[in-house]
Amino acid sequence: TQLEQALRNAIIADSVEVHFQPIVRIRDASVVGFEALARWNDPDLGFVSPAVFVPLAEERGFIDALSDTLLRKAAEAALSWPRELFLSFNLSSAQLMDPGTAGTILATLGRVGLDPARLELEITETAVMTSADTAERIIAELRQSGVRISLDDFGTGQSSLGRLRDFTFDKVKIDRAFISRITTDRASEHIVKAIIAMCDGLDLQVVAEGIEEWADAEKLKTLGCAMGQGYYYGRPVDAAATLRYLQTHH
């Protein structure tokens, strides 16, 4: 298709970009890391969402090439940051079915020179389940090298609490569907409260996603949620704007 060909060309031309969204410590809004988010603005097709082109790349078998170029760009940007903040990078489900994924990621970090201890990989429960044995081996290999793993979009999709027992994760990202209703819906508040308590008990770090309002942040503070992310703190912006953001935010 036209879209597929345009994406192939963009990967070859190295024109798919990475933007960065801050992840903060809610207590004092200090920046602790950034999530890398792929951005593709095609001259003919215009802006295409990663929610469209990531699945396309998976389906057509070039997610490895795409992800590798994105990770390289993200890691290079992270090296230019004035502080040793972590870089959080999304992995797709196809990558968790490919036993070569851990090696590819570690090789890219090695070439760029980013310490694996500064990388976090975001994976979803659905992705882990699709190919559990392979996913488990990939996760183990990465964690042995110091890379941390976050469970993205927690609480949605085919959630299973057993996943938290059977797999070794470092962090849970509470899906923004809960956060967007946290100040208006008692059920959402109770669910978030329970997730935070469970993660505390399991020694898992917690990030609340989709914080858009001051009131959301205040509520999460009272619930004892350590980290947060969302438009309230900052939208995803390009590498240059990220450096400017870091000059004005502690």
CA dihedral sign, ordered 92, 95, 97, 101: negative
**x/- track of binding to Mn ion for residues 55-94 (CB under 5 A):** -----------------------------------x----
**Residue 96: closest CA among 134, 142, 149:** 134
Among 146, 168, 231, 244, binds ligand G (CB under 6 A): 231
238 binds ligand G (CB under 6 A): no
Torsion angle of the four alpha carbons 171, 177, 182, 185, in this order, in degrees rounded to the nearest 10: -140
Backbone angles phi, psi at 171, to 5 degrees: -150, 150
Binding mask of the shown chain, residues 114 to 153, with x at each position contacting Mn ion by CB under 5 A: --------x-----------------------------x-
Nearer to Na ion, 11 or 87 (CB): 87
| 96: Cβ contacts below 8 Å, ≥ 6 apart | 123, 127, 128, 130, 131, 134, 135, 138
120 near Na ion (CB under 5 A)? no
Please provide the DSSP assignment of 204-226 as one string.
Answer: -EEEE----SHHHHHHHHHTT--
Nearer to Na ion, 120 or 152 (CB): 152
Minimum distance from residue 49 beta carbon to ligand G (Å):
5
Where does this chain bind ligand G (CB under 6 A)?
A: 21, 37-38, 49-51, 54, 67, 70, 90-92, 122, 152-153, 176, 209-212, 230-231, 236
